[in-house]
Amino acid sequence: MKSSFLSAFAKLEMPDLQLRPEEGWSLSRVRIELLSGLTVALALVPEAVAFAFVAGVHPLVGLYAAFMVGLITALFGGRPGMISGATGALAVVMVALVADHGVEYLFATVVLMGILQLIAGAMHWGKFIRLVPHPVMLGFVNGLAIVIFLAQLTQFKVPGSMENTGHGMGGGEWLSGLPLVMMLGLVALTMGVIWVMPKLTKLVPAPLAGIAVVAGVVIALGLDVPRVGDLASIKGGLPQFHIPSVPLTWETFEIILPYAIILSAIGLIESLLTLNLVGEMTGKRGGASQECLAQGASNVVTGFFGGMGGCAMIGQSMINVKSGGRTRIAGVAAALFLLLFILVASPLIEQIPLAALVGVMFMVVIGTFAWHSIKILARVPLNDAFVTLLVTVVTVAYDLAIAVVVGVIVSALSYAWNNARRIHADIYEQQNGTKVYRLQGPLFFGSSDGFTELFDVENDPDEVVVDFADSRVVDQSALQAIEAVAGKYEAASKRLQLRHLSRDCHKLLAKAGHLIVDSDDDPDYALAVDYEVRTGILGGH
């Protein structure tokens, strides 16, 4: 394990500020990156505060997490352009731990969560994200867009009356009358500015322009609308190093381990899926294992500095990409701007109307939702359409991790079922009277029953050949099925030959304890197996 860690960290890339040749480095590029980071930082404030409320901790615990996780993953993460911070997916898991044991246990859990993520990175487990099928990705994107939309609806409630729940949809009084009209009008104005701005100029990111215009209107006219300061004060100092005040006992470990496992899994799944999504949008590949290491390191540090931990944030990542952020500068700038807000600019930031930030997030929802998936649902295979809808619904109803696991399992079962139905055989007789079963399709646990049903042992001649040229022996169930068929022919005193086995099949049969030898009559593979069922000996012919 030690060598794995050393190897993993040796391969950890240092901050990569490279751009594609057509983008180039210039003052204009740096300006875009910095302004994109500022836009993201403004959007991070209400999110971090809201998720801190959900977890039942002080708002600064969420803000510190957004700063530290965002900074470390921006510097060392696997995908420049991604934004990480405190997220609702993690907050809903933390709430029970904080309620039952207190915030110090949360800090200890975040440290252990980070250690588990470091182990995942060192063992290169991030590569398993490749097993997530495209329909699951579509469901993930659509479900998360809906969750982001629902989370913004809490801003349409009277400040101070909101109860915090998983997706931010709690009780409380909804705005009505003139306050509701003003809120909706300002949200619409923000969205309008974001839509029009790119058509006029690209000097300023459209989301930042929307926030600035609406904030200017509200402050200039003195409109009485909900503002960031109505959620909570974001003023504070630098995060301080703090060892979690928990007993160093086995009992403590038993308490925090289950939460740490769940949090680390959710954090990595959301981060790696966001990594893939941002990579598709920017045309750049990201390092899954490197992202696991960066997420783990950031959470270990955050746990020791009074933060609630975090992972990648798809909403803020989309804001960054849409604003032009393409390098690590934007992510680093977002984290530093957020710290600046906490230290010196809190009075100004607290005056920003929530409607402006809601408008930005609504535009993120529109840009994130895979609208084309609605059109293709009727054209793709039924099982793929079902998986997309299933993952979307489960993401909204429960959480991302459960949705992805469910989607992958259903996709795998669907794949296995479809392949199980593909097994069949072209049957013909040679001039010497030998009957040949030329198999088509993979032979594995799902198709093994269908395989055994292909053979007519009672009416077959004394010489039978099973040709695997168009098939594959995949697993132990396949080997067992072959042995079962061989046993039937043995009982009938008939001879069975297995031919055209590929090298991987050869290895499987060898592991099963059978003797395999090269055969001159198998030029394609140089491998053939004759199963002398009457004597129990395998030999070449």
Sketch the domain layout of the chain as residue ranges. 26-370, 421-539
How buried is residue 472: exposed, middle or buried, by Cβ count under 10 Å (0-12/13-18/19+)? middle
Look at the block and give the residue holding tokens 């990579």: 279
Structure tokens at 390: 């299933």
Which of 166-170, 173-177, 303-307 ranks highest by mean pLDDT? Answer: 303-307
Structure tokens at 466: 């099973």
- pTM here is 0.72
Superfamily of domain 421-539: STAS domain (3.30.750.24)
How buried is residue 312: exposed, middle or buried, by Cβ count under 10 Å (0-12/13-18/19+)? buried
Phi first, then psi: give them for residue 495, nearest 5 degrees.
-100, 130
The secondary structure of residue 12, as a DSSP letter, is: P
Lowest mean pLDDT among 14-18, 29-33, 34-38, 46-50: 14-18
Work out the percent of the chain whose per-residue pLDDT is above 70: 85
Q: Is the pLDDT assigned to residue 4 strictly greater than 80? A: no
Listed in sequence order, the DSSP H helices in 341-475 are 346-349, 354-368, 372-376, 382-397, 400-420, 448-452
C-alpha distances out from residue 361 to 8, 201, 356, Å: 36, 21, 9
Q: Is the pLDDT assigned to residue 133 strictly greater than 90? A: no
Structure tokens at 538: 């395998």
Beta-carbon-side half-sphere exposure of residue 204 (alpha carbons within 13 Å): 15
Cα distance between residue 39 and residue 56, in whole Å:
27
Of 26 and 447, the one with more pLDDT: 447
Cα distance between residue 46 and residue 453, in whole Å:
63
Work out the percent of the chain whose per-residue pLDDT is above 90: 33
- Per this entry, what is the length of the chain? 541
Q: Residue 499: in which H helix or E strand, if any? A: strand 495-499
pLDDT at 511: 54
Residue 372 banded pLDDT, cuts 50, 70, 90: confident
Query: Which residues make Cβ contacts (< 8 Å) with residue 162, sequence separation at least 6?
Result: 53, 154, 170, 171, 172
Query: Which residues make Cβ contacts (< 8 Å) with residue 344, sequence separation at least 6?
Result: none
Closest CA to 521 of 434, 457, 421: 434
Cα distance between residue 530 and residue 505, in whole Å:
14
